[in-house]
Amino acid sequence: MAKVVKEPKAKKKSEKQKADSKKKVIAPEITPEVPKEEEKVAAKPESKIKELQAKRDRKTVIMQGNEAVSYGALDAGVNFFAGYPITPSTEIAEILAAELPKRGGVFVQMEDEIASICAITGASLAGAKSLTATSGPGFSLMQEGIGFAKITETPCVVVNVQRLGPSTGMPTSPAQGDIMQTRWGSHGDSPAIVLYPASVKESYELTIRAVNLSEKYRTCVVLLMDEVIGHMRESVTLPDLANVKVINRIKPTVPPHWYKHYDENQKYLSPLASFGEGYRFHVSGLTHDSHGFPTNKSTEAAEMMDRLRKKIVYNIRDLVQIESHEMDDAKIAIFAAGITARAAKAAIAMARYEGIKVGLLRPLTIWPFPDDAVRKMLRDKDIVIVPELNQGQLIREIRRLTKDKSESEVVAIQRANGQLISPQDILRKIKEVC
Amino acid sequence: MANIPQKVVHQYLRHDKKFPHVWCAGCSNGIVLGSFIRAIASMDVNRDDMIMVSGIGCSSRMPVYIDLNTMHTLHGRAIAYATGVKLHKPHMKVVVITGDGDCTAIGGNHLIHAARRNIDITVILVNNNIYGMTGGQCSPTTPHDAIATTSPYGNIEPDFDICKLAIGAGASFVARTTAFHVFEMQNYFQKAMEHPGFALIEVISACPVIYGRLNKKGGAPQMMKEFRDNSIPLTAVPKLPPEQVEGKIQRGILQEIVRPEYCAAYADLVKRVQESGGEQ
Q: What tens-digit pLDDT sequence spans chain A (434 residues)?
A: 344 444 444 444 444 444 444 444 444 444 444 444 444 444 444 455 555 555 555 678 899 999 999 999 999 999 999 999 999 999 999 999 999 999 999 999 999 999 999 999 999 999 999 999 999 999 999 999 999 999 999 999 999 999 999 999 999 999 999 999 999 999 999 899 999 999 999 999 999 999 999 999 999 999 999 999 999 999 998 888 888 999 999 999 999 999 999 987 776 678 999 999 999 999 999 999 999 999 999 999 999 999 999 999 999 999 999 999 999 999 999 999 999 999 999 999 999 999 999 999 999 999 999 999 999 999 999 999 999 999 999 999 999 999 888 878 999 999 999 999 999 999 999 999 98
Count of C-beta atoms within a 10 Å radius of residue A24: 18
We report the CATH number of the domain holding residue A155 as: 3.40.50.970
Map chain A to HEC letters: CCCCCCCHHHHHHHHHHHHHCCCECCCCCECCCCCCHHHCCCCCCCCCHHHHHHHCCCCCEEEEHHHHHHHHHHHCCCCEEEECCCCCCHHHHHHHHHHHHHCCCEEEECCCHHHHHHHHHHHHHCCCCEEEEECHHHHHHHHHHHHHHHHCCCCEEEEEEECECCCCCECCCCCCCCHHHHHHCCCCCCCCEEECCCCHHHHHHHHHHHHHHHHHHCCEEEEEEEHHHHHCEEEECCCCHHHECCCCCCCCCCCHHHCCCCCCCCCCCCCCCCCCCCCCCEEECCCECCCCCECCCHHHHHHHHHHHHHHHHCCHHHHCCEEEECCCCCCEEEECCCHHHHHHHHHHHHHHHCCCCEEEEEECEEECCCHHHHHHHHHHCCEEEEEECCCCCHHHHHHHCCCCCCCCCEEEEECCCCCCCCHHHHHHHHHHHC
Indicate whether A92 and A238 sit together in one domain: yes
**Residue at which a domain ends, from A198, A213, A243:** A243
Residues 6 or more apart from B164 whose CB is under 8 A from it?
none
Q: Is residue A280 part of a domain?
A: no
Listed in sequence order, the DSSP H helices in chain B are 8-12, 29-43, 78-88, 100-101, 108-117, 162-169, 182-194, 213-214, 220-229, 242-245, 262-276
DSSP code at position B68: S
d(CA B68, CA B57): 19
Quick one: closest CA in B to A128, which residue? B88
Q: Is residue A22 part of a domain?
A: no
Q: Is B251 helix (H, G, I), strand (E, B) or coil?
A: strand
Interface list for A 88-117 with B (CB within 8 A): 98-99, 101-102, 104, 106, 108, 110-112, 114-115
How many angstroms separate the Cα of B86 from the Cα of each of A14, A113, A281, B34, B172? 43, 18, 17, 24, 17
pLDDT at A264: 74
Q: Is B215 helix (H, G, I), strand (E, B) or coil?
A: coil
Indicate whether A45 and A193 sit together in one domain: yes
Indicate whether A71 and A206 sit together in one domain: yes
d(CA A42, CA A23): 33
Structurally, chain A folds into a number of domains equal to 2
- DSSP bridge partners of A234: A63
Calculate the CA B105 to chain-centre distance: 14
Summarize pLDDT for B242-259 with one digit per residue, the tens. 998 988 999 999 999 999
Q: Is residue A255 part of a domain?
A: no
Query: In the sheet that A410-414 helps form, which strands lie side by side, from edge to edge?
Result: A322-325, A358-363, A332-335, A383-388, A410-414
Summarize pLDDT for B110-166 with one digit per residue, the tens. 999 999 999 999 999 999 999 999 999 999 999 999 999 999 999 999 999 999 999
pLDDT at B10: 86
d(CA A346, CA A361): 14
Indicate whether A216 and A347 sit together in one domain: no
pLDDT at A6: 43
- DSSP bridge partners of A384: A333, A410
d(CA A308, CA A153): 8
Domain boundary assignment for chain B: 8-276
- What is the ipTM score, two decimals? 0.95
Among A52, A99, A114, whose Cβ lies nearest the Cβ of B80? A114
d(CA A25, CA A13): 9
Indicate whether A228 and A327 sit together in one domain: no
A402 — contact with chain B (CB < 8 Å)? Answer: no
pLDDT at B202: 98
Residues 6 or more apart from A185 whose CB is under 8 A from it?
A139, A140, A143, A146
d(CA A148, CA A253): 26
Calculate the CA B175 to chain-centre distance: 10
pLDDT at A265: 72
Residue A25's closest CA among A9, A14, A10, A11?
A14
Q: Do A123 and B69 make contact, defined as CB atoms within 8 angstroms?
A: no
- For B205, left (φ over 0), alpha (ψ -120 to 50), or beta? beta
Task: Compute φ and ψ for B209, nearest 5 degrees.
Answer: -70, -35
**Residue at which a domain ends, from A243, A274, A305:** A243
**Residue at which a domain ends, from A243, A275, A290:** A243
Give A385→chain B minimum CA distance, Å: 42
Indicate whether A212 and A343 sit together in one domain: no
pLDDT at B42: 93
A277 — contact with chain B (CB < 8 Å)? Answer: yes
d(CA A175, CA A389): 5
Sort out which chain B residues have CB atoms less than 8 A from A119's CB and list them.
Answer: 80-81, 83-84, 87
Domain formed by B8-276, architecture:
3-Layer(aba) Sandwich (3.40)
Indicate whether A334 and A207 sit together in one domain: no
Q: Is residue A248 part of a domain?
A: no
Task: Compute φ and ψ for B18, nearest 5 degrees.
Answer: -105, 45
Structural contact between residues B238 and B155, judged by C-beta atoms closer than 8 angstroms: no
d(CA A179, CA B198): 40
Question: CB-side exposure of A378: number of CA atoms within 13 Å?
Answer: 22
Indicate whether A108 and A209 sit together in one domain: yes
* pTM, entire model: 0.91
pLDDT at A50: 58
Indicate whether A217 and A358 sit together in one domain: no
d(CA B145, CA B151): 9
Among B68, B80, B266, whose Cβ lies nearest the Cβ of A115? B80
pLDDT at A55: 57
d(CA A135, CA A161): 5
d(CA A221, CA B279): 33
Q: Is residue A382 part of a domain?
A: yes
Sort out which chain A residues have CB atoms less than 8 A from B17's CB and list them.
Answer: 282, 291, 293
Angle between helices A423-433 and A339-353 (to 10 degrees): 50
Sort out which chain A residues have CB atoms less than 8 A from B270's CB and list them.
Answer: 101, 104
Sort out which chain A residues have CB atoms less than 8 A from B265's CB and list them.
Answer: none
Structural contact between residues A116 and A134, judged by C-beta atoms closer than 8 angstroms: yes
**Could you list the residue range(s) of the whole structural domain that residue A369 is in?**
322-433
d(CA A49, CA B252): 49
We report the CATH number of the domain holding residue A346 as: 3.40.50.920
b/e A324-354 (16+ beta carbons within 10 angstroms → b)? bbbbeebebbbbbbbbbbbbbbebbebbeee
Q: Is residue A25 part of a domain?
A: no
A276 — contact with chain B (CB < 8 Å)? Answer: yes
Give pLDDT < 70 ranges for chain B. 1-6, 280
Residue B94's closest CA among B268, B267, B261?
B261
d(CA B33, CA B47): 15
Calculate the CA A152 to chain-centre distance: 20
Q: Do A282 and B80 make contact, defined as CB atoms within 8 angstroms?
A: no
**β-pair type (A365-367, A193-195):** antiparallel
Count of C-beta atoms within a 10 Å radius of residue B270: 19
d(CA A145, CA A157): 12
d(CA A394, CA A387): 9
Q: Is residue A352 part of a domain?
A: yes
Quick one: closest CA in B to A113, which residue? B80
d(CA B269, CA B260): 13
Q: Do A148 and B74 make contact, defined as CB atoms within 8 angstroms?
A: yes
Indicate whether A39 and A173 sit together in one domain: yes
Sort out which chain B residues have CB atoms less than 8 A from A80's CB and list them.
Answer: 84, 87-88
Indicate whether A141 and A43 sit together in one domain: yes
Q: Do B84 and A44 make contact, defined as CB atoms within 8 angstroms?
A: no
Q: Do A126 and B266 make contact, defined as CB atoms within 8 angstroms?
A: no
Tell me what percent of the residues of chain B surpass a pLDDT of 90.
Answer: 89
Quick one: closest CA in A to B70, which residue? A282
Q: Do B73 and A128 make contact, defined as CB atoms within 8 angstroms?
A: no
